Structure 1
Amino acid sequence: MDQTEQHAILAISLMAAFADGGKDEREREQIKRIAEGLSPEAEADLAKLYQDVLLKRRTLEASARSLSSPETRQLAYEMAVGVCDADGRRDAAEADFLERLRNALGLDAQPAQDFAESADDLADAPLTATPAVGPDAAALDASVLNYAILNGALELLPQSMASMAILPLQMKMVYAIGKAHGYELDRGHITDFAATLGIGMTGQYLEQMGRKLLGGLLGKAGGGLLGGLGSAATGVAFSFATTYALGKVAQHYYGNGRRIDTGELKQTFARLFAQGKELQGRYAGEIAHKARTLDVPQVLDMVKRR
């Protein structure tokens, strides 16, 4: 996959992020930061790409024409579906965008629909987690660590669907922590809580997949890893640390009766995210072992029932 194709796929993903027309300025700024930070050596190119998409100087059809192989066209569609579903089941505007994209890419309707329905299953997965975790701090610590290891392992799988599972698993984790402290949370509350910490769901998925794309980890859709475990280290550390910090801050917040202000929450998240990145190295072996035992159908079932 050359740079032109990489940029075309990223452009399509950015278009998907803005397809609903509902992104506020905070979300736009986060997506801009992520787009520019995905590849430090090509920061100027990606900054221009973001502006071209936002100002509609780059069209969906032109980006689709830049993708010459069936694999890259399929990957572009899968990433766009993931972006649209990252903050919940897609709305009518996003569904229209994806149909327009499918036509521009020349993809068969039924396989595309099947993939989108699998993504819907993840977006609509129940928040309830079993077994339930009690308010005991040690049990909650262990649960957060298990989620962090699992989400780190999902970064090592090449399939787009594996990356899509990370966000609903994070939501289940926060739901279980809130439940343990007597709070019945819904998706809207959890999304707002994460956004307060600076974790936009759309932006997080875009960053996960963008790192894989630019890092050479995504080959044929559904195929094997091209870069090996070493080149996936950044993505693993990111997902492990994000999950770890989100869970630990949730413990702190709900354990203290939700009486912590936004500034303190952000500072605590930043500190725990840095701690999580360091901690990830200690669990690298467990993460790699977990990845070797997972497949996509198993992951989908895990999200639905966990």
Structure 2
Amino acid sequence: MPAKTSGKSPAKKAAAALTTSPHDLAPAPVVLLAGSEEHLADRALSALTTRMRELDPTFERTDVSAAGYQKGQLATWTSPSLFDERSLVLVDGVDVASDAFVEDVLDYLTAPAETVVLVLRHRGGNKAKKVLDVARGVPGVAEVSCQPLKRDQEKVDLVLADVRRARRRIDLDAARALVAALGSDLGELVAAVDQLLTDTDGTITEDAVHRYHGGRREATGFEVADAAVEGRTGQALVLVRHAAATGVPPVLVVAALAARLRQLARVAAAGRGRSADVARDLGMAPWLIDRARRDLLHLSPEGLGEAILAVAAADHAVKGGGADPQHALERAVRIVGEARSTP
């Protein structure tokens, strides 16, 4: 009787099975560091180097660049040592590699050296992408995603994972506060986590985060939107000015306000029902449905309508239709915040 198959190609199954986190990376014949986030790539390389040193303190590491590659150099870089010691070869800049490098590395992937860990650093784009595509189908290849963390929730998840890896705990509000303070620089965010782990005992609380990083604030449009919709008008206006001071364009803040109000309008129109069912119908997370419903308890249809019109006017102003975009934005924030108290 034939065995059942999953329907995935062997290459896809290999890639899915071997994609790993930077901290869990172990030596493999070929390691792919794919994506433009340098800090994630650095973490992966550091973890890999540490692991190799544990296995063989005498291992050699060689850092080379694919830029300006000359035919045949890869064979030299990956040639076994006299006593077959382990070695690590980091090839940086695969995303700008020449055709000669692509040809040589594709040939190498057919039979990787047993004592060499070849690390290929590709920052993105279509150039030399074939190297990644072919490598992902090679048995034993490991890959670490180094794609930028664009959403705050992804950064919060990173903080939670780092603290958990240290066998400590951090309150969710504390993780969110840390991301709010330092989230624009991933390296600084991770360094702050390490510092908190060193300087505190037990569970890391929001108070601890504010104690060490209370002077930092990177207001985002979504923070402004949350504060305004929740009726914290004064705080929302302060955040608007923080955002302006740190270079956040007014158009992004208006876009966040508009997105938040659209969520409220969609949930209001969906009516009653189980959060999970409404979430499925609207393509939203259940917790967003619950949050919107809590906000709608304090918003009348008229108040929501006025808020939407105010944000639409601000959108027109910040896109060139008004003489003072910042004033238009602050006016919209006030109207959204005051709508909260509408019966």
Q: TM-score range by the shorter chain?
A: under 0.3
TM-score w.r.t. the length of structure 1 is 0.27
More helix by share: 1
Relative contact order: is structure 1 or structure 2 higher (C-alpha 8 Å, sep ≥ 6)?
A: 1
